[in-house]
Structure 1
C-alpha cells in the first residue's frame, strides 16, 4: 500500500538518496552531479509557498516524492512541479497518488496553474504529466545542463 504525507526535515536523507539514484541513472532529470542533503534541507524550508510530499510503503520505505514551489517568472500564480519515483517502482500509482495531494496543496496555496519542465528525451516523465492532464505549451531548445549535456525541454501546464 502507498501512503502519502507531507515531507519533513527528517526526510531529507531519504529524499537525497532516492534523488541521487535517479541522477546517477541519468536520462530523466536535468539535475546532474552529487545531490547534497543540506541543499535538500534548505529547499524543504525555502518558502511557505512550496509543498513537498513523500510516498512510502507500509514499512516506511520512500517510494517517491513530489514538490511544487513558486515558478520564478510567475511566483504568485504558477507553481513549478518536480516528481521522482524510486527506480524499479514506477507504474505502481505512486505518481498518481502524489499528484492528487499536490494538486490540492497548489489550490490551497493560491496557485492557478502548475508548470512541468521535462526533458524531451524523458518519455516516462512526458507520459506521466500527460496522463495527469498537463498540456504542452512550449519548448526550450538546446538547454545546457550543469554537466554540459544539451537537451531540449518540453513545457507542460495544468490549470487548477
Structure 2
C-alpha cells in the first residue's frame, strides 16, 4: 500500500467527518464527544485563512487519517493548535508521520513559530504520537469537562518550528 498525503479541501469534508465520527464512537482519544457533520468540517476548514488541512489516503482513495492546524485562540498569531485523527484499526501505518511532515512544513511556511497540542491524559497513543514527533510537555489542564460531562486531564505539548 502506498500512502498519499495531500491538502484537504471542501470536497473532502464528508469522508473526514465519517472518519472523525468513527473515532468519536470508539471513544477515549478525542475531546470531541458528539458526532460531526460534513458541514461542520467544511465550516471548520473555512473558518480561518491560516488553517491548514491535510489528509492521508491509500491507493484506492480511502482516507486513513487527517490533520489540521489553525491559529490558537489564546496564544497569539505565532501559535497553531493541532488535531490529528487516524482511522480506527488502521494506526501504525506511518499515517501520522506522513501527515506531520506535510503539516510541519506548511505551518512553518505560513508563519507559525510553534504548534500547541492538547492531548487527553488518558490517550496514551496520542501522547506517544506527539512525543515521537518531538513535542515537549509544558503544562497540564486538570479537570477539563468535555461536552458529554466526562472530566479528563489534558497534557499540553509544544513543538517549536524554528
Structure-1-length-normalised TM-score: 0.99
SS at match of 1:103: helix
Residues 1:76 and 2:65 are matched in the alignment: no
2:10 aligns with 9
1:66 aligns with 67
Q: Is the 8 A contact 2:14 2:37 kept in 1?
A: no
Task: Quote how far apart the aligned CAs of 1:74 are.
Answer: 2.0
Aligned equivalents of 1:121, 1:51: Cα separation in 2? 27
2:100 aligns with 99
Gaps of 5+ in 2: none
Task: Quote how far apart the aligned CAs of 1:85 are.
Answer: 0.3
2:35 aligns with 34
1:108-153 per-residue CA deviation (whole Å, 9 max, x = no partner) reads 1101000000000000000000000000000000000000000000
Task: Quote how far apart the aligned CAs of 1:34 are.
Answer: 1.7
Residues 1:116 and 2:117 are matched in the alignment: yes
Aligned equivalents of 1:96, 1:57: Cα separation in 2? 15
SS at match of 1:133: coil
SS at match of 2:137: strand
